[in-house]
Chain A
Amino acid sequence: MNEKGSRLSIIGSIVAKDLREYRRDRLWTFLTILVLVLMAGLFWVLPDTVEETITIGVTGLEETAARALADDGALDVVPVDTVGDLTAIIDDRLQAWRTPDDSVVVALEPPSGASKVDVTMGISFPPDFFTDPTVASVEVLVSGAVPPEVRTALAGVVREMAHAVAGSPLPVSAPEALFTVLGEDRAGDQVSVREQLRPLFVFLVLLMEMFAMSALIAREIADRTVHAILVTPARISDVLAAKGIAGTVSGFGQAVLLLVAIRSLGPSPLLTAAFVAVGALMVSGTAMIAGSAGKDFVGTLFYGMIFMIPLMIPAFSALFPGTASPWIRALPSYPLIRGLVDVITLEAGWADVAGKLGAVGAWCLALFSAGWIVLKRKVEAT
């Protein structure tokens, strides 16, 4: 066997040993499966739609006017017969139900096949509002859960309706719509919480693997297993390569399993897998550093946390709208998270995310090299 083949065989044997150690620990195996199952379960119970309309109950409004009010898609208008009923619905003493034929029924119990309409605010129009809005006042009824900006806006809607009835034009000119949409218009097609959480779940699995890997490394150093291996023909570089491969394979395998379970490999599974693989390699590098730095499990846990907290920030920032702050974009996990969001949620292709893949690859190289150096020094020093 030539030198290269021999090295690969040694590395393969060490990787197989490390993976066997994982598997032998029944508790670890059971809990790994349990976590994956729980995460997948949690994913499927999360809401998969975004409620971006405001549901209002109205009294004293003709059907055509109600339809016009709901025309721009921001308001879901529920006609109610009396102010008493509307107040009771908002106060949760009565319920509004939408029947399969799209009519609304007010009752305590749901009619057959009807679904509940969550009405937390309403407008009570006086009978003569559409003939002379100046003669009476309009009541906007709101529950405590309605935020202040929506209360103000509802009052504004009524005032604008009154202006329209009174024939007073808008104080500004607007050619078509009141506003111009910039960027891809996702009204009615928003990214749900469930979709937003996909990359976060994957990254969490990888980070958990980092803890497991760092603990294994720390234990091998403490038990001097590494030194036992080094009296065989294995070199220190073989051990380090094997640790990196074992951590990457284990993290990658779990993350891909989760992605399959939550059906989130995206339209380009290879591209998703590429990001996950690079991410797994990156956390293996950090595991090497944490495992080398900590003297025992608690120590490695602490050092692991030092890495975990900053690495998690981009994952959480992806849940917020808009561009992340420059310091968040400078974190190693940012291109990984953004890449996963783009590929899985926004269905980006290779060309769209090539830059991010390159950036995460560079970070991965840097962290893995740092991990390699730190672990090598640690092994040599003990």
Chain B
Amino acid sequence: MNLNRIAVVAAKDLRLGPRSPIFLWVLILPVLLTLVLQVAFGSLFDPSPRLGVFDAGESRVTQLLQGADGIEVQVVSTAAEVKDLVQAHDLDAGLVLAADFDRMVADGARPPLELYVAGESQAADRMVLSVTVLDAIRSLQTEDAPVTVNVVGVGDEGLPIAVRLIPAIVMYALMIAGVFLPAFNIADEREHQTLDAMVVTPVKLAEVVTAKGLVGFALAIPMALVTLWLNDALGSRWPALVTVIVIAGLMYTCIGMLYGVVSKNIAGVFTLIKGTGIVLLGPAIFYLFPDWPQWIAKLFPTFWVIDPLYRVSVENASIGDLAGSFAVAAVVIAVVVVGVAAGVRRLRSRLGST
């Protein structure tokens, strides 16, 4: 293989690449996905109980509830609207406070409690909301609670969903640049028969494929870093982070080259990605569901790069901690490279190239 020729082909791809919609995907999708997953679906996996309050006076209960941790409080304009929203499960619970509610509680008049819960709300949310409401109302009374309660944290703090989503987002960035780009570029050249034209020049087929992979790799690394930066997950161990991203980029790029050389056309690449996407993205799902048996994730080849990435960016692991994972990743990459080489040989024979 001639490095100069590889560089020439790669430079051509980088120069002409931005004309292709795939390049736009590479640049835009990780950002878009960060936005969609973190903003929209963070609340799907980790929802907060939702409480609506109609306050006919200016009750202190409303202020206390608005300041309560972990509860979404929405002030509603009428009592009827509270009921409608609860009935439709747009709220988990709704509280209606009379105009002189605070005074009645302070006077010991025990006003009726108008607390509604949605039929579809979960038992735990009902308990959380009703106890929180009651606690807020108790604070209107002059006497203190008869007991002192200390909340004590035990063990490590858990990871929020935003952090558990990081592997999925980074994997997607790597997949788009590392897998899609080389695979589509190779298949596109083949479909438009420009590959036939290229291999009659001194450039060898293996060099063309390597150049396509190089372009994917060159974009996968910065896009993975940008995605980690967008998610505030760059961590503090830069040598380990760069090492793991390079290895991850290498694995994904090799997979992309493999898809490119075995597909007859772009439709073939698409169907391959459609069919094996779950294998490539599978490990990321297990970070979202820590209760699932985690050993299953280790069966996926991409686990051995995405887990180190997670451990470096979230748990600040060092290169030494990840040596075992890197060894498995190297074996996976070697197997894929053998597949790419076989694919190139087969493609060469089909193109009639030497």
Contact = CB atoms under 8 A, between A and B. Distances in A.
Interface stretch (A283-291, A316-324, A330-338): A316-324
A182 B118 CA distance: 5
B148 interface: yes
Given A137-B150, A140-B152, A74 B134 contact: no
A298 interface: yes
A35 B150 contact: no
B131 interface: yes
Given A134-B147, A159-B149, A153 B155 contact: no
Interface string B16-56: 00001110000000000000000011011011110000000
A318 to B, nearest CB: 11
A150 interface: yes
A42 B158 CA distance: 26
Given A74-B124, A140-B149, A171-B110, A159 B119 contact: no
Contacts of B138: 159, 163, 171
B278 A42 contact: yes
Contacts of A301: 21, 270
A182 B148 contact: no
Interface in B56-85: 68-71, 83
A165 B149 contact: no
B3 interface: no
Interface in B155-191: 155-158, 184, 188, 191
Contacts of A166: 146
B145 A159 contact: yes
Nearest to A145: B158
A28 interface: yes
Nearest to A166: B146
A173 interface: yes
A52 B122 contact: yes
B191 to A, nearest CB: 8
Interface stretch (B86-94, B218-226, B303-311, B330-338): B86-94
Nearest to A121: B154
B275 A149 contact: no
A185 interface: yes
Contacts of B8: none
* Binding site secondary structure of chain A: mixed
A144 B90 CA distance: 29
B153 interface: yes
Interface residues on A, range: 35 or more
From B93, B143, B152, B188, residue with most partner A Cβ within 10 Å: B152
Interface string A120-148: 00000000010001101111111111111
B268 interface: yes
B146 A163 contact: yes
B274 A35 contact: yes
A100 interface: no
Nearest to A157: B131
A149 B266 contact: no
A228 interface: no
A15 to B, nearest CB: 20
Given A52-B123, A180-B116, A159 B147 contact: yes
Interface stretch (A86-94, A268-276, A359-367): A86-94
Given A153-B132, A179-B117, A320-B44, A53 B158 contact: no
A31 B127 CA distance: 47
Interface stretch (A186-194, A251-259, A370-378): A186-194
Contact of A178 (B120, B130, B157, B272): B130
A296 B89 contact: no
B265 interface: yes
A98 interface: no
A8 interface: no
B105 interface: yes
Contacts of B148: 137-138
A92 B155 contact: yes
A75 interface: yes
B7 interface: no
A118 B291 CA distance: 10
B22 A298 contact: yes
Nearest to B22: A298
B211 to A, nearest CB: 19
Given A138-B147, A173-B111, A323-B88, A74 B155 contact: no
A92 B290 CA distance: 14
B275 A144 contact: no
A139 B46 CA distance: 26
Contacts of A157: 127, 131
B79 to A, nearest CB: 13
A163 B147 CA distance: 8
Contact of A190 (B70, B88, B117, B122): B122
Given A137-B147, A170-B134, A179-B115, A27 B271 contact: yes
Given A73-B123, A144-B155, A182 B86 contact: yes
Given A75-B127, A143-B158, A160-B134, A137 B267 contact: no
B49 to A, nearest CB: 6
A165 B146 contact: yes
Contact of A158 (B113, B149, B291): B149
B126 interface: yes
B95 to A, nearest CB: 9
A54 interface: yes
Nearest to B278: A38
A31 B70 contact: no
Contacts of A139: 149-150, 152
Given A142-B154, A159-B149, A208-B274, A72 B123 contact: yes
Interface of A: 27-28, 30-31, 34-35, 38, 42, 50, 52-54, 72-75, 87, 90-92, 118, 129, 133-134, 136-160, 162-163, 165-166, 168-175, 178-188, 190, 208, 211-212, 215, 219, 296-299, 301-302, 316, 319-323
Given A31-B275, A53-B124, A301-B21, 10 more contacts: A159-B138, A162-B146, A171-B140, A172-B111, A173-B112, A179-B130, A181-B118, A187-B122, A297-B266, A322-B89
Interface of B: 20-22, 40-41, 43-44, 46-49, 68-71, 83, 86-93, 105, 110-128, 130-132, 134-135, 137-138, 140-141, 143, 145-158, 184, 188, 191, 263-268, 270-272, 274-275, 278, 291
